[in-house]
Amino acid sequence: MKFYELNPNIPVNDSYNVFVRVSSVQTVSVDPGSISVTTPVLDLGRRRRIQAQGLPEGVQLLWRGSDELPLPDSWSNEPGRYRYWQVRLQSSDLNTLLERLEITPYDAPGDDPGDGGGPGDGGPGDGGGPGDGGGQPSVFRLLLRRFRSYWQISGVPQDRRTTGPFRTVFGSGGQQRTGENEWTQMNNEERNIGDGWK
C-alpha cells in the first residue's frame, strides 16, 4: 500500500482497510492497432508447397515465398512452390491470443520432388519434364518421376551430406542419419539416395 501524508503535523488516525472491486479494464484506443508474429525464413531444402494454419481460427495468415533470398518485401499470399517460405500470423482483435502456427510442406500431384535446384542436392532444377504443368499425371509417371529424382543424385561420394525434412533415405548402403534432417554418405559405394514420403 502506498501511503502519503500531506501534513504530518496534523494527524489523522486512520485504520481503514478499504475493499475495492475492479470489474473490467478495456483499451479504448491503442497504437499500433494490430499485432503479428512472424516465423523465421523456412528453408524446405527444395521447392515445395506449404499449407499453413493458424490458431485460433479466424486470425489472419500472411505468407511469402521465393526460391532465392532475400524474400520479396510484400506479403502477397501467392500460392506456389518455393524453397524459402515465411509465414505471419496477425490480428487486430485486442482480445485474441495468437496461439499457434502450423506449417506443413507438401507436394501436389504433378510436382517434381527433384526440382528446385537447392545448393547441395545435385538436382538439375525444374527441367519441365513430362507432365509438368498439365493435368493429372498417371501413377506410373509419378513413380517414374520419383525414381528419376533419386537416380539424378546417384554417384554419391563419401561425406556427401543430404539435408532436408526427410523421414527416409533410400539407398543401397552406406547412408547414415547424422542429424534431425541430415543424412551422410559414409563410403564411396554411391547408389541412390533420396527422399522418402513424409
Partner 1 sequence: MRFGRILESGDELFAASCQISDGAVILPRTDTDDYVRFRIPDTNCPPLPRPNSPLDSGQADVAEPNRWQVIGSPNTSNKWLIAEQTDQIQLAYTCYAGDFVLEVVSDYVSKTGTCTGEIGTYSWDGVALMFDMAGKTFGIGVCWSHHFGLVELPWGGEQSGRSYLWFVAQGTGILLHATLVIPHSQSDVRYRVQRSGSNIRFGMLNSSGSWVYSQWLSAGTGQIQFRWEGVRVLGGGAL
Q: Which of 144, 158, 164 is nearest to 186 (CA)?
A: 158
Instruction: List the grid coordinates of 29.
Output: 484506443
Nearer to partner 1, 77 or 158 (CB): 77
For residue 147, what are the CA distances in angstroms to 112, 133, 142, 197?
11, 19, 9, 13
Smallest gap from residue 122 Cβ to partner 1 (A): 24
Cis bond upstream, residue 56 (ω within 30): yes
Nearer to partner 1, 100 or 161 (CB): 100
169 binds partner 1 (CB under 8 A): no
Rounded to an integer, what distance in angstroms lies between the CA atom of residue 100 and that of residue 121? 32
Residue 112 half-sphere exposure toward CB, CA atoms < 13 A: 23
Rounded to an integer, what distance in angstroms lies between the CA atom of residue 73 and that of residue 67? 14
Smallest gap from residue 163 Cβ to partner 1 (A): 13
Binding-site residue total for partner 1 (CB under 8 A)?
56
Residues 53-72 interacting with partner 1 (rule: CB under 8 A)? 55-56
Nearer to partner 1, 103 or 186 (CB): 103
139 binds partner 1 (CB under 8 A): no
Rounded to an integer, what distance in angstroms lies between the CA atom of residue 20 and that of residue 77? 49
Nearer to partner 1, 20 or 139 (CB): 20
SS3 175: strand
Residues 95-134 interacting with partner 1 (rule: CB under 8 A)? 95-104
The contact mask relative to partner 1 for 8-47 (x = CB under 8 A, - = no) is: xxxxxxxxxxxxxxxxxxxxxxxxx-xxxxxxx-x-----
4 binds partner 1 (CB under 8 A): yes
Residues that bind partner 1 (CB under 8 A): 1-32, 34-40, 42, 55-56, 89, 94-104, 165, 180
